[in-house]
């Protein structure tokens, strides 16, 4: 009972439900990382998302496990080893991730011009 999630998910409406599962800063990126179905060790995920503080990835991965988007396997070895793998449920979100990826790619220049450093 160490870490406890305050607001698990938003059950007010279907749209808010979906959003609440992926809107944390790095969750969509984690899903994108795991999309190919290959299991990944925490240290690998950290390396792929170097901008994120490792602690946040730990927390968000834990929430995603709790929500059923990701499955964790712990190998009782030393040094410790564990792996995260996307679940069927998590996989069913990939089309959404994809559309956001595509949209972002298509419209990137608009926002680059608008908000980028070098106008």
Residue numbers at the binding site for a second copy (CB under 8 A)? 8-9, 11-19, 22-23, 25, 28-29, 32, 51, 67-68, 89, 92-93, 95-97, 99-105, 107-108, 110-112, 114-116
Q: What are phi and psi of 29, to 5 degrees?
A: -70, -40
DSSP 8-state code for residue 84: E
| Tokens read off for 29 | 């990126």
115 binds DNA (CB under 7 A): no
What are the residues binding DNA (CB under 7 A)? 2-3, 6-7, 24-26, 41-43, 51-56, 58-60, 62, 72, 74, 78-82
């Amino acid at each position: 009972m160490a870490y406890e999630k305050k607001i698990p998910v938003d059950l007010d409406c279907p749209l808010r439900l979906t959003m609440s599962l992926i809107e944390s800063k790095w969750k969509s990126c984690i899903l994108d990382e795991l999309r190919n179905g290959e299991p990944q060790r925490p240290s690998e995920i950290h390396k792929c998302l170097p901008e994120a503080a490792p602690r946040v990835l730990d927390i968000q991965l834990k929430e995603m496990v709790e929500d059923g988007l990701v499955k964790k396997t712990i190998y009782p070895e030393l040094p410790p080893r564990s792996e995260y793998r996307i679940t069927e449920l998590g996989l069913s979100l990939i089309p959404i991730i994809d559309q956001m990826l595509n949209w972002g790619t298509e419209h990137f220049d608009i926002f680059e011009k608008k908000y980028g450093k070098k106008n």
